[in-house]
Amino acid sequence: MAQAIRNRWIGLIFISMSISLVIIDGTIVNTIFPTVIKALSISSTEVQWVQESYVLVFASLLLVWGSIADRIGRKRLLMIGILIFIAASVWAGLAPDANGLILARVVQGVGGSMVLPTTLSLVNANFQGKERGIAFAVWGSTIGGMVALGPVLGGWLASYETLWGLDGWQWAFMINLPIGLIVVSGLWWYVSESKATQRAGGIDYFGAFLSVILFLTMVFGLIEGRTYGWWDASDTNVFALGGFEWPTGGISVIPVSLVISLVFGILFVLWEKAREKAHKNVLLDLDLFNISSFRNGSIAALVISLGEFGILFAIPLWLQNVEGLTPIESGLVLLWLAGGAFLASAVGGALSGKLAPAVAVRIGVGLELAGVVGIALIANAGGGWGVVAPFLFLYGIGIGLATAQLTGVIMVDVPFNKIGQASGSQSTVRQIGSALGIAVLGTVLFTATQSSLEAKLTELNVTGSNQTTVVTAVVETAGGVIPGLEGISIGQLHQDPATAKAIQTAAGEAFTDGAKWSAGAAGIFLLLGFASTFRLGSRKPKESLTDA
């Protein structure tokens, strides 16, 4: 018995390492973006898609894999997912261009989407009572810490021009290979398999199809709205898929995409209800939302995730392109966030059983809100990283508290035989929030930057094609061109170094404005999330039910 208990806790280490692998990779690219932009010559839209292709596929498939894991075994699917993930990581590291990198990120999303719900299910299945609360805290704190540690690792690797025959940024992906193989070995030896009894009707393939289309079209619309036009089709950017081109001069593809998402969302709900009525397996058991703790916790998780991670897209770009930090320096700045998250983990562990999880979530979200609002108010071009570091630390404490405890709040009343679906659905809710947050806050970042820069250039009497060229360069490179704008050669500007320097200053200030607007938008989402936490119950996790 003692050996089994010890193995269970060792197994938790490897389960947490599994989620670390996925979460680090979801954030590590934030710091290496400027390096990747230069190496592969990619645009700001492609930059978003390098991140969003991963998050989009990740979110689209969580429900699918959560349900399948219950049938074929959670440990088995977890190991398959990690193997797919590390193979795709090698592909990403060797990608020769933006298209190759985006495709590799899509496959990474497939593997990663197998990992998150299965790790949560295994934690829920292998621990009960107070032990489960501690295990959830370890699992959740790992996510919070890795969110911050990823950019640090990315910055350190990106600081190398070459390392063992590869560019530094390539190692940000290749490092997953040795770590992933260690994790798979540990899972094989120390984690017990877990399944749930299934109803008739097999896997809900049609429900899976509906959910994938629902999420794909939703996030596509939010990401590409500024590119193809929110209502009227853009004359300069034409949506093309294969040999098909969207017609210009009429309605844009974006509202059509969002309407498709809405329609498929309605069809998904109707289909799942019909299968539930027929007592067949469902992709998402909508009856779970009759459980108040699950329903209210999921709503809170969705809104909180909208503001929680999207801001991490903007901060590394701002630190490097405006404040002039190297990738490793910007990663080290984000150690303030990591430090806050790990401090919260220690405090949360000490308070386990003494502080209601819902209260810990409320405190955490409140601290996150204070952190992003501080960044929105204090950040300024040329002010240095020191002005934002304390707010990143505060933000990290908030993430550590909120993430570690919210999962336990959501899952507290879920029956054992439904934990696969429940873990998949709550993970999907979070990832949808994260994907939408990155899409929305990324759009706010670039739209606000463009608007601010246009106004500043007009004040400098830089108009017409010169203004368009500068604005396009800044936005399309996600600010990467700003450090070189002092030596700009556009029209007559190469003859006026003072004007070129003024343009560079204006671009840095405009990108700062964009980052501040992005932080402000994150603050609005977190404020709504903070309000939603008052609907959470304050009970502690109960003992696990037996498998049905």
For the chain, the maximum distance between any two Cα atoms, rounded to a whole number of angstroms, is: 80
Q: Taking 60 as the threshold, does the pLDDT of residue 95 lie above it?
A: yes
Cβ proximity of 268 and 239 under 8 Å: no
On whether both 164 and 309 belong to a single domain, the answer is yes
Q: Which runs of consecutive H residues, i.e. helices, occur in 379-496?
A: 389-411, 419-459, 464-476
User: What was the pLDDT predicted at 184?
Assistant: 94
Residue 132 belongs to domain spanning: 2-204+280-449+513-535
Alpha-carbon gap, residue 51 to 436, rounded angstroms: 12
pTM: 0.67
Lookup: tokens for 25: 């990779």
129-133, 295-299, 395-399: least confident range: 129-133
8-17, 325-334, 428-437: least confident range: 428-437
Tens of pLDDT along 459-485?
Answer: 988 878 788 888 877 877 677 778 776
For 133-196, strand residue ranges (E) read 162-163, 166-167
Q: Taking 80 as the threshold, does the pLDDT of residue 203 lie above it?
A: no
On whether both 385 and 259 belong to a single domain, the answer is no
Q: What mean pLDDT is predicted for residues 218-233?
A: 79
Q: What mean pLDDT is predicted for residues 417-441?
A: 69
Q: What is the DSSP letter of 1?
A: -
* Amino acid sitting at position 264: F
Give the pLDDT band of residue 298 (cuts 50, 70, 90).
confident
Q: In this structure, what CATH number is given to the domain that contains residue 378?
A: 1.20.1250.20
Residue with tokens 């389960």: 15
On whether both 345 and 230 belong to a single domain, the answer is no
Q: Is residue 28 part of a domain?
A: yes
Alpha-carbon gap, residue 41 to 209, rounded angstroms: 34
Give the pLDDT band of residue 543 (cuts 50, 70, 90).
very low
User: What was the pLDDT predicted at 310?
Assistant: 58
On whether both 270 and 285 belong to a single domain, the answer is no
End-to-end CA distance of the chain: 24
Q: What mean pLDDT is predicted for residues 224-234?
A: 80
Query: Sign of the C-alpha dihedral, residues 426, 432, 435, 436?
Result: negative
Q: Give the β-pairing of 244-245 and 166-167.
A: unpaired
Give the pLDDT band of residue 258 (cuts 50, 70, 90).
very high
On whether both 198 and 100 belong to a single domain, the answer is yes
Alpha-carbon gap, residue 475 to 70, rounded angstroms: 45
Q: Is residue 495 part of a domain?
A: no
Count of domains in the chain? Answer: 2
Helices 205-228 and 419-459 sit at what angle, rounded to 10 degrees? 10
Q: Is residue 464 part of a domain?
A: no
On whether both 181 and 212 belong to a single domain, the answer is no
On whether both 271 and 214 belong to a single domain, the answer is yes
245 — phi, psi (to 5°)?
A: -125, 135
3-state DSSP: the chain helix, strand, coil percent, rounded to 5? 80, 0, 20
Give the pLDDT band of residue 491 (cuts 50, 70, 90).
very low
On whether both 385 and 402 belong to a single domain, the answer is yes
Alpha-carbon gap, residue 267 to 325, rounded angstroms: 49
Domain final residue, candidates 234, 251, 279: 279
Cβ proximity of 463 and 454 under 8 Å: no
User: What was the pLDDT predicted at 499?
Assistant: 75
370 SS3 class: helix
User: What was the pLDDT predicted at 54?
Assistant: 81
Alpha-carbon gap, residue 192 to 218, rounded angstroms: 37
On whether both 211 and 260 belong to a single domain, the answer is yes
Q: Taking 60 as the threshold, does the pLDDT of residue 541 lie above it?
A: no
Q: What mean pLDDT is predicted for residues 309-338?
A: 75
Average pLDDT, the chain: 78
Q: Taking 60 as the threshold, does the pLDDT of residue 487 lie above it?
A: no
Q: Taking 90 as the threshold, does the pLDDT of residue 91 lie above it?
A: yes
Highest averaged pLDDT of the listed ranges 101-115, 192-206, 401-415: 101-115
How many Cα atoms sit within 13 Å of 274 on the Cβ side? 9
Q: What mean pLDDT is predicted for residues 101-117?
A: 88
Highest averaged pLDDT of the listed ranges 12-16, 120-124, 267-271, 523-527: 267-271
Alpha-carbon gap, residue 491 to 488, rounded angstroms: 9
Q: Which of 496, 161, 141, 147 is nearest to 308 (CA)?
A: 147
Cβ proximity of 108 and 370 under 8 Å: no
Alpha-carbon gap, residue 208 to 255, rounded angstroms: 23
96-110, 323-337, 360-374: least confident range: 323-337
On whether both 413 and 264 belong to a single domain, the answer is no
Alpha-carbon gap, residue 221 to 262, rounded angstroms: 12
Alpha-carbon gap, residue 65 to 85, rounded angstroms: 14
Alpha-carbon gap, residue 126 to 142, rounded angstroms: 18
Q: Taking 80 as the threshold, does the pLDDT of residue 326 lie above it?
A: no
Alpha-carbon gap, residue 130 to 542, rounded angstroms: 8
